């Protein structure tokens, strides 16, 4: 086996200094086009891909990269509209600062894992060559957040934090707004479909609310706050935030004669699936059944969802600015939300399952 190609061996083969090879990869403006082209050609012939990022970060004290903790499968980040908007906002700001984005997967469910399994999941967090990180939907108590804090890395969360910076929305107040909207329309028999840290499509008829993501707990609490005495609220989950989960939860709620008159979903992805399932069963969404979502991603307008709009991309941009410019940004920002009323909500039906709703 041949010896490993290094920056020094490229320099010797090209007849230049090691600094010149480093400049060719990292500071091309410091070399003439002719010299840089020659160095890169020699590097390519020798199979040298460039200076090691981890080693460079040790020398300079910077990796020029920000991590994003994902408590989902990595592929989920590329199909969930909320995550895509958040990553887009992050990338927009980071690109202006010539900073990369590193996606760091973590086990979606920590409860029940052995110590060895938790350590394996933490390995990616420990090994990540980053200057700081964003953790969306996680609290200070999450193992990934604690691991980043142990590394003394700057951290921005989207949940309340006593140790890290945070960019928030008032999820509980947003839940109250949705609840009041439905109550004002006469609804007293409601259900809420929440994303749970379980595989998509697996019915969770009895939800352990302590295991829910912080945003789900707060939105659920807000809806409860808005309900008058005597109103009913059932809570069900079909698993993680995915279309299949919404279908599963809706099918359970709409089976039989005791269905709710309104279903609140804690995301637009779940709400759209609920609405689709209802329509498949011959229900007119907005008439026979009201459905609401959360986020106001493009999907919501396309299917006429009443939903809560939050500035997702702006949240990502602010998180990035907090990491890039800590001295010039506040430690805590709460972004506004507002209710967008569309055709998926309407007055409660006068009668349901043989009883009058008041």
Q: Both 322 and 343 in a single domain?
A: no
**Helix-, strand-, coil-residue percentages of the chain, each rounded to 5:** 45, 15, 40
Tokens for 308?
């809560």
Give the pLDDT band of residue 54 (cuts 50, 70, 90): low
**Residue 58 included in any domain:** no
- Overall pTM surpassing 0.95 (yes/no): no
Domain-located, residue 55: no
Note whether residue 56 is domain-resident. no
CATH of the domain at 41: 1.10.260.40
Distance CA 13, CA 283 (A): 74
110 in a structural domain: yes
In this prediction, residue 25 has a pLDDT band, given cuts at 50, 70 and 90, of confident
pLDDT value at 200 more than 80: yes
Q: Looking at the structure, do residues 350 and 303 belong to the same domain, yes or no?
A: yes
Same domain, 215 and 350: yes
Instruction: Give the C-alpha separation, 23 to 43, whole Å.
Output: 13
Same domain membership, residue 140 and residue 202: no
In terms of domains, do 147 and 21 share one?
no
> 236 and 151, same structural domain?
no
Which domain, by its residues, includes 15? 1-47
Comparing 96 with 218, which gets the higher pLDDT? 218
When divided into structural domains, the chain yields a total of: 3
Determine the average pLDDT of the residues in 29-41.
88
Residue 145 maps to a domain: yes
pLDDT for the residue 112? 54
| Same domain as 261, residue 112 | no
Question: Is pLDDT above 70 for 51?
Answer: no
Q: Residues 190, 263: contact at Cβ < 8 Å?
A: yes
214 and 249 inside one domain: yes
Statement: residue 353 has pLDDT above 70 = no
Quick check: is 53 in a domain?
A: no
Q: What is the pLDDT of residues 246-263, one digit of tens each?
A: 999 999 999 988 999 999
What distance in Å separates the CA atoms of residue 227 and residue 356, rounded to the nearest whole number? 18
Nearest to 165 by CA among 280, 43, 327: 327
- Over residues 196-211, the mean pLDDT reads 87
Residues 141 and 222 in one domain: no
In a domain, 218, yes or no: yes
Residues 42 and 156 in one domain: no
Q: pLDDT of 139-191, one tens digit each?
A: 898 888 988 888 888 999 999 998 899 999 999 999 999 999 999 999 999 99
Q: Are residues 175 and 290 in the same domain?
A: yes
Supply the CATH number for residue 134's domain. Answer: 3.40.50.2300
Contact 65, 131 (CB under 8 A): yes
Which pLDDT tens digit goes with each residue over 297-316?
A: 999 999 999 999 999 999 99
Q: In this structure, are 180 and 253 located in the same domain?
A: yes
């Amino acid at each position: 086996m041949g010896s490993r190609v290094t920056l020094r061996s490229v320099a010797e083969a090209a007849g230049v200094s090691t600094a010149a090879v480093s400049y060719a990869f990292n500071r091309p403006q410091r070399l003439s086009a002719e010299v840089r082209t020659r160095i890169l050609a020699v590097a390519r012939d020798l199979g040298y891909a460039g200076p090691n990022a981890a080693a460079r970060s040790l020398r300079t004290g910077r990796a020029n990269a920000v991590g994003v903790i994902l408590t989902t499968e990595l592929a989920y980040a590329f199909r969930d509209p909320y995550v895509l908007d958040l990553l887009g906002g992050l990338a927009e700001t980071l690109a202006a600062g010539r900073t990369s984005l590193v996606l760091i997967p973590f086990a979606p469910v920590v409860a029940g894992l052995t110590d060895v399994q938790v350590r394996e999941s933490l390995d990616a967090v420990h090994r990540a060559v980053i200057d700081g990180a964003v953790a969306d939907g996680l609290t200070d108590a999450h193992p990934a957040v604690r691991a980043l804090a142990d590394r003394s890395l700057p951290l921005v969360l989207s949940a309340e934090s006593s140790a890290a910076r945070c960019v928030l929305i008032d999820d509980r107040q947003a839940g109250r707004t949705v609840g009041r909207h439905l109550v004002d329309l006469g609804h007293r028999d409601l259900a809420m479909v929440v994303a749970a840290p379980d595989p998509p499509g697996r019915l969770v008829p009895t939800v352990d609310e302590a295991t829910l993501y912080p945003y789900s707990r707060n939105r659920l609490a807000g809806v409860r706050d808005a309900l008058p005495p005597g109103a009913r609220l059932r809570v069900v989950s079909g698993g993680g935030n995915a279309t299949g989960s919404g279908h599963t939860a809706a099918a359970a709620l709409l089976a039989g004669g005791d269905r709710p008159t309104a279903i609140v979903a804690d995301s637009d992805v779940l709400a759209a699936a609920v609405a689709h399932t209802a329509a498949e069963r011959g229900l007119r969404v907005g008439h026979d059944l009201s459905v609401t979502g959360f986020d106001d991603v493009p999907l919501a307008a396309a299917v006429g969802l009443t939903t809560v709009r939050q500035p997702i991309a702006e949240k990502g941009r602010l998180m990035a600015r907090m990491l890039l410019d800590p001295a010039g940004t506040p430690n805590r920002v709460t972004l506004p939300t507002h209710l967008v009323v569309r055709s998926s909500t309407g007055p409660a039906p006068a009668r349901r399952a043989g009883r009058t709703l008041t």
